[in-house]
Structure 1
Amino acid sequence: MKTRVRSNWSNAVLVCTKCSKKLDGGFGPKGRQPLGKALRKHLDLKKGRKAAAGVVDVKCLGVCPRGAVTVVNGAASREWLLVPAGADLDELVAALDLRDPADGDATR
């Protein structure tokens, strides 16, 4: 049995799927995608542990804001973000500090 598995993630972001479901999308170019999927596409992340960062959809974080989605940056887990529907994904990437430590660019 393996006790450890390697990952390329520089950061992990938790996105509440219950909040996203209540908004019925609200993100992406046409405003129809859930936040997790829109963020993965915006950052052009590979799938699974081979991605530069992980965007993980979780069931419920227990905050349940109206008209927004709860997001937690794993590196700064003491501060949670409430992202309103239609928010600019570039601003969200900056707020989550999803930067590649090697070159300072976003994890694209």
Structure 2
Amino acid sequence: MTSLLAILIGCLYAAAIYMMLRRSVVKLVIGLILLSNAANLLIFTAAGLERGVPPLIEEGQQVIAGTAADPLAQALILTAIVIGFGVLAFAVVLIHRACEVVQTDDMNEMKGTD
């Protein structure tokens, strides 16, 4: 399962970089979405894909019995999703306004405008 996810993560990174190198600003935003999803999946896979009990210590015990899920990776991914959504919303509004002013979504034509 880990090797399948590694291939999927590589494909997502490749597609994100390909989309970010396109001339269209809309494709740039799609590339940013793919890049953030690939990074989240990488963190999730790096933490391990073992099923475990919730990481709660019972009263009177010192350690968790058995394997437990890693809460750090889940917290990092949740934080990355929220931050990524905020950045994406800002980028969409910024790109929408730039396209309104310049009347195009081509990056090369935007660069030459005063």
Q: Would the TM-score normalized by the shorter structure come out above 0.5?
A: no
Give the structure with the higher percent helix.
2
Alignment TM-score, normalising by the size of structure 1: 0.24
Asked which structure has the greater CA Rg, the reply is: 2
Greater RCO structure (CA 8 Å; 6+ sep): 1
